[in-house]
Amino acid sequence: MMIQVNQLTRYYGDLCAVNGISLKIEKGEIVGLLGPNGAGKTTTLRMLTGFLRPTSGDITVNGLSIHNDMPAIKRLMGYLPEAAPVYDDMLVYDYLVYVADVRGIRREEQSDRISRVAGMCGLQPVMHQPVAELSKGFRQRVGLAHAMIHDPEILVLDEPTSGLDPNQIVEIRDIIRQAGKEKTIIFSTHILSEAEATCDRIVIIDKGRIVADQATGELIAEAGGDRALFLSLAGADPETAKVGLAGVKGVQDVQVQPSDPSDPSGVVRLKLVCAPDPDPRRVIYAHIRQTDWDLLEFYGETQGLEHIFRKLTTEA
């Protein structure tokens, strides 16, 4: 086991921001800390990285305690804080040299480390540009490179994609996934799809407490995650298709989507509401193969996570 959080608690005056959180994180896991604004995510991550002292409770990393061994723990960790650091007019390359100096990386190793993190974070095209002139997406990559400069075993990322556009989000997510192949990653987000796409495990916190802690797939399944499957068929009679597909085991409901009157192709679009188990996709496909319909589209969506998140984090 790698990280153990024990009854971690933090008060700000009278306000209990983190309330007795306990958590184990194994080596190599990608864990998403999910929760609404003010849930206590940032406070938790700041205690984990040694920037904030807990009111009570303990965290150990590879057996080292934050109370006694913080310098050693910091060497194992890279941290991307929530607010983008205030950068000056340094060039990206110089900034990374500076960061490597602060981390105590020897001069002869620096250029190696810098080119490695620049490669991982896709920074090559901007290495000789001033940090101040970069887009938000590239700044965030510089932040990630900063966090990874000393090749830490553990990466702690606070809302790594907040404020980015959809393309930038995908790029940052790819970097996180890639890094996750060799590192343990803990990141916070309030975006569900983010957690679903990237994490092995999701921990949901609300008002300073853990309200769910499970493997991503399990959590979605347990959410009663009805899955919607969407089909587009050419050459099918809507009523026949509806009745035929409604008979497949696991299909709970079939809705014929309204067709576009300006579309003369006669394509039938169906939405199938399905139970998570048994997975009906193979049987649906086998059913279609026995007809003379052309299958134009077949894709699925889960809405389970959003459902459970709302259920767990809004008051009844």
Q: Which residues bind ligand ATP (CB under 6 A)?
A: 12, 15, 17, 35, 37-43, 190
- Specify the residue, 81 or 244, whose C-beta has the smaller distance to ligand ATP: 81
Phi, psi of 129 (to 5 degrees): -105, 150
Residue 203 CB, nearest approach to ligand ATP (Å) = 12
Which residue number, 19 or 232, has a Cβ lying nearer to ligand ATP? 19
- The least distance separating ligand ATP from the CB of residue 159, rounded to whole angstroms, comes to 7
Report the C-alpha gap between 76 and 66 in whole angstroms: 12
168, 137 in Cβ contact below 8 A?
A: yes
Query: Minimal distance in Å, beta carbon 197 to ligand ATP?
Result: 19
Sheet containing 201-206, strands listed edge to edge, beginning at the edge strand earlier in sequence: 77-80, 154-158, 184-189, 30-34, 201-206, 209-215
Is the distance from CB of 251 to CB of 273 less than 8 angstroms? yes
Q: Which one, 35 or 137, has the nearer CB to ligand ATP?
A: 35
Tokens of 131: 């940090």
Q: Give the bridge partners for 30, in sequence order.
A: 185
Give yes or no for a cis peptide into 36 (omega within 30° of 0).
no
Choose between 57 and 225: whose C-beta lies nearer to ligand ATP.
Answer: 57
- What is d(CA 202, CA 199) in angstroms, rounded to the nearest whole number? 7
Euclidean distance between CA atoms 20 and 308, whole angstroms: 22
Nearer to ligand ATP, 188 or 232 (CB): 188
Least Cβ distance, residue 50 to ligand ATP (angstroms): 16
- Supply the minimum distance, in Å, between the C-beta of residue 5 and ligand ATP: 14
